[in-house]
Structure 1
Amino acid sequence: MDLTVLHLAVPQISATLHPTSSELLWIIDVYGFMLAGLLITMGTLGDRIGRRRLLLIGGALFGAVSIVAAFSPTAEFLIACRALLGVAGATIAPSTLSLIFNMFRDPRQRSLAVGTWVSAFSAGGVVGPLLGGVLLEHFWWGSVFLLAVPVMALLLVLGPKVLPEFRDPDAGRLDLTSAALSVVTMISLVLAMKKVAQDGVGTLPLVAVLIGLAAGALFVRRQLTRPDPMLDLSLFRLGAFRTSLGINVIAIFVAFGYFLFVAQYFQLVLDMSPLRAGIAMAPSSVGFIIGSQAAPHIVRVLRPAYLIGAGMVLAAVGLALLTQLSVTGGPALAVTASLLIALGLAPVFGITTELIVGSAPPEQAGAASGVSETGAELGGALGISILGSIGLAIYRSDLADSLPSDLPHTTAIRDTLGEAVQTATTLPDNLQSAVLSAARTAFIHGVHITAAVATLGALLIGILAVAHLRHVPPGELSGGHGHD
């Protein structure tokens, strides 16, 4: 819910806080980067101190920081709040997922529970745009952050009453050195990829890569030599675990990348209000709910590999439709494409999540959940960052040739589409129409290219799944116990 409403709020954030293109990307994806760095640590911490306890601590922090974020005075302050939300969020996903794997040991019940867990994300995707649209129609952009507050308050009241506590009784103390190394590894590598995507190869990304690889090597060495490692690397010897993790990362890369563009297309190209844009985005979230609820039933009779393959082909069709969007068209094509993408991707998320976490013994469910969610958040952050940066590069390149030569404020116009739309309102009518036409056309060109890249990614996932997971029989989502 928090993520989808943030996309809706991007135009108003651009108009109020005036972030640069780099700051805007950081506002959106620093949350995912912090999650990616901390999820394994938080999953392991939950195994040690109790998954319910960690969930409640994270929920309290998430609610408190959401209130502060709503009143951010500058883009830099909002980035800092989003980073803290990432720290809090890192406690929530692995705690909830590992609790599910301990509460539901029966395979059929567990499949339905994981499907419902995935549906919960999708339900937030439905509620977020609708409530966010209403709030943005009547209040300031920061109001969308307040949506999380009553949800977290409810968690703090009901969690102690209805959730059981689970922890690993034989777990040792949290290895703070391993935790620090995992954070440095993830943040450094993600930062390097982000900088290369935005600015090309340079000194900073090269240094970040070297730091990340060095920290990663030390992390792996430490896990292999300690009697109680923070992360049991033997999980990666399981073929189904490795393949499912790779599929999950690429699928979420595709999903998050396209979602950012569609949200901006509705508001900044078609000039829809936040509420209308929220309504237009709701069908795709409903598609996620339908797909994630249907998957546990379909996978009982169809091999997981073939269901994932069919889902990715359907998603590829939807992504290919996005290459046909136009400045003058209506929302129907984008809505249809988003629905097909959602129906195709939803089974993939549930199946791969169960394969990944189901590989681990129950006492390591938190750590395995952390690995699963690390891959998911890394894929999402990279989807926004890399696909967003590709779209931005095309946008700027096209505008360099298409803007009127005597135009003032070209720097702001070339920064982001949101800045271009905002700047156009201050120009004379003849220049206003020229700027809007050029900016929207350049943006659509960027969408076409990134959608084509995402289409290829979706087809790659389908091929990978059929090639490497076809040995997993229908109904068996244990994650590869005994499978190489």
Structure 2
Amino acid sequence: MTTGTTTQPTTTQRAGWRAWAALAVLMLPVLLVSIDNTILNFALPAIAKELEPTSAEQLWIIDAYSLVLAGLLVTMGSLGDRFGRRLLLLTGAIGFTVVSVLAAFAPTAGWLIAARAVMGLFGATLMPSTMSLLRSLFPERNQRRIAVAVWAGMFSAGGALGPIVGGFLIEHFPWQSVFLLAVPMLVLMLVLAPLFVSESRDPNPGRIDLPSILLSMLALAPLAYGIKEIAVHGLAGGAPVVIGVLFGWLFVRRQLRMAQPMLDMSLFARAGFSGSMLVNLFSVIAMVGFLYFVSQHLQMIVGLSPMIAGLALLPGALTSIAGGFIVTPIARRVRASIVIPSALLLSLAAYLIVALVGAHDVGMLVLGFALLGAGIGAAETVSGELILANAPAEKAGAASAVSETAYELGAVLGTSILGGILTWWYRSTLVVPEGIPAELALHAEETLAGAMNAADSVGGAAGEALRSAAATAFDGGVTITSLIGAGLVVLAMAIAATTLGGRREHASH
């Protein structure tokens, strides 16, 4: 195991038991952050009923966290390289715990959105630290492959477990419990991390460049926000994208001119690095987009309780973990350009099943999510290891931050693009039946949750007619978004096939 405060391994010695214990500790924040990306999908109906957010606020409750996190990941990864990845991890855990408590007692939708944004700030310190620490904990590549499989498996499983955990909590406790879940997990990590996780940092970090930090934030956050606005409002909402691209160009230009840049742009010239990052991006969009609609369908249309609806997705959580471990020995012998597209065929089949069969068949939804989880779990394991292998050890934090930016942008875009298109289709096709009061009709036209609450309020034949109309409009949007999701998976397969060829070993041990 690597000890001390340096990260550059001089040998490829095999890690001992303390490194594996450290890996177990690091999985606590990985599991928490990935659960947090999807747990609100199941808590959203309860939150919507109590806080009565608009459709825009409803999307912001989910997206505020990921938008802020995406804007700060590169900055936090670089700070971890400089000041210490373990130090940054512990600092972020303390902040995340405190703000999670504040979010749990949010009295309004605005308060909750603000709390989620601050959680994103501290969340940005957690994920790059965990992944970059793997490089120093496991310098030997075969062991690192296993460690990355665990990391990717926990990340994928957390996303799949979010609805299950959320369903259990919502059924037995108030919605505030989904935020309080962070407290015991991070407190346990704060106790164990100093015992098992050695500090690591870049031995030659260079100076802190505040303009680079500012430019990275001004590039990533507007870009993610602008894509979200385009998905909901069309090209009229694209001004933030232009702003993000402009600041992104300025950021890249500055990095290329610096002797010691905050982010080594030469990383992107490595096909294994850039291709793997894009595979992660499109895979996460597909996963989160699927969860966005299936969680609402199972609860509000099928009528399953939150816990039963969550358990219906348990096979997907298990297959996402299994996929990562099954693919690990295969990836040692077969090129990533073959392994990743082959794995993603399962995810493609999942979306096609939903698009062709429809969302009304719960059994097909369960099967679809199981296939989706298996494919993405395997693909992310291989691509995640390639990202680490293609980055110098001393820049592991910055490289991991770029990888995490792809993950978090994927989470934002999965909700905003697929969720936005679904919302647009729902509003465009919903025909509110006669007999619904005007005020309740407005709520019904905003969201599926609003329609179901309105149907409960009206009751009788009119209420049932509204419920049926809302279900038809929503499930019609599910078919459209499933076809788009299938297209995203095909795009990820094409990127992997064309950029991850060449030798199986892309970097030195």
TM-score > 0.5, shorter chain as reference: yes
Q: 1:266 to 1:299 in 2, by over 3 A?
A: same
1:180, CA displacement in angstroms? 0.8
AA aligned opposite 2:436: L
CA RMSD of aligned residues (A): 1.6
- SS of equivalent to 2:37: helix
The corresponding residue for 2:192 is 158
- SS of equivalent to 1:426: helix
Q: 347, 365, 378: which one pairs with 2:378?
A: 347
Q: For structure 1, which segment, 134-143 or 311-320, has the greater mean C-alpha deviation from structure 2 after superposition? A: 134-143
State yes or no: 1:223 paired with 2:255.
yes
State yes or no: 1:413 paired with 2:444.
yes
Cα distance in 1, alignment partners of residues 210 and 302 from structure 2: 50
AA aligned opposite 2:345: V
CA contact (8 A) 2:435 2:462 kept: no
What per-residue deviation string (whole Å, max 9, x for no partner) do you get for residues 415-461 of structure 1? 11011111111103111100000001111000100001111221222
Percentage identity across aligned positions?
42
The corresponding residue for 2:351 is 319
1:357, CA displacement in angstroms? 2.3
AA aligned opposite 1:42: M
The corresponding residue for 2:279 is 247
CA contact (8 A) 1:47 1:167 kept: yes
1:330, CA displacement in angstroms? 4.5
AA aligned opposite 1:153: V
State yes or no: 1:114 paired with 2:143.
no
What per-residue deviation string (whole Å, max 9, x for no partner) do you get for residues 45-75 of structure 1? 0000000000000011111111111111111
Question: How many equivalent pairs are there?
Answer: 473
1:120, CA displacement in angstroms? 1.9
The corresponding residue for 2:17 is none
The corresponding residue for 1:233 is 265
CA contact (8 A) 1:137 1:275 kept: yes
AA aligned opposite 2:302: L
The corresponding residue for 2:121 is 87
Cα distance in 2, alignment partners of residues 315 and 269 from structure 1: 24
Cα distance in 1, alignment partners of residues 428 and 320 from structure 2: 35
What per-residue deviation string (whole Å, max 9, x for no partner) do you get for residues 220-252 of structure 1? 121111111100001111122221122221111
What per-residue deviation string (whole Å, max 9, x for no partner) do you get for residues 290-318 of structure 1? 00111211112222111111111111101
CA contact (8 A) 2:358 2:479 kept: no
Question: Which TM-score applies when normalising by structure 2?
Answer: 0.90
State yes or no: 1:282 paired with 2:314.
yes
Cα distance in 1, alignment partners of residues 165 and 345 from structure 2: 32
Cα distance in 2, alignment partners of residues 472 and 444 from structure 1: 44
CA contact (8 A) 1:391 1:446 kept: yes
CA contact (8 A) 1:308 1:465 kept: yes
CA contact (8 A) 2:104 2:177 kept: yes
Cα distance in 2, alignment partners of residues 260 and 325 from structure 1: 18
- After the TM superposition, which residues 244-393 of structure 1 pair with which residues of structure 2 at under 5 Å, given as runs? 244-324=276-356, 326=358, 329-393=360-424
1:130, CA displacement in angstroms? 3.8
What per-residue deviation string (whole Å, max 9, x for no partner) do you get for residues 154-193 of structure 1? 1111111110000112112321211111001111112221
AA aligned opposite 2:316: S
- After the TM superposition, which residues 203-222 of structure 1 pair with which residues of structure 2 at under 5 Å, given as runs? 205-206=238-239, 208-222=240-254
CA contact (8 A) 1:126 1:282 kept: yes
AA aligned opposite 2:423: L
CA contact (8 A) 1:56 1:156 kept: yes
Cα distance in 2, alignment partners of residues 187 and 127 from structure 1: 27
Cα distance in 1, alignment partners of residues 492 and 168 from structure 2: 37
Cα distance in 2, alignment partners of residues 313 and 437 from structure 1: 34
Q: For structure 1, which segment, 455-464 or 264-273, has the greater mean C-alpha deviation from structure 2 after superposition? A: 455-464
Cα distance in 2, alignment partners of residues 274 and 215 from structure 1: 42
Gaps of 5+ in 2: 1-34
The corresponding residue for 2:433 is 404
CA contact (8 A) 1:62 1:85 kept: yes
CA contact (8 A) 2:278 2:495 kept: no
CA contact (8 A) 2:153 2:381 kept: no
Cα distance in 2, alignment partners of residues 210 and 126 from structure 1: 34
The corresponding residue for 1:53 is 87
CA contact (8 A) 1:304 1:472 kept: no
Gaps of 5+ in 1: none
The corresponding residue for 2:25 is none
What per-residue deviation string (whole Å, max 9, x for no partner) do you get for residues 358-416 of structure 1? 211111000000010011111221111011111111101111xx321442221110111
1:134, CA displacement in angstroms? 2.7
Cα distance in 1, alignment partners of residues 202 and 230 from structure 2: 41
- After the TM superposition, which residues 11-90 of structure 1 pair with which residues of structure 2 at under 5 Å, given as runs? 11-90=45-124
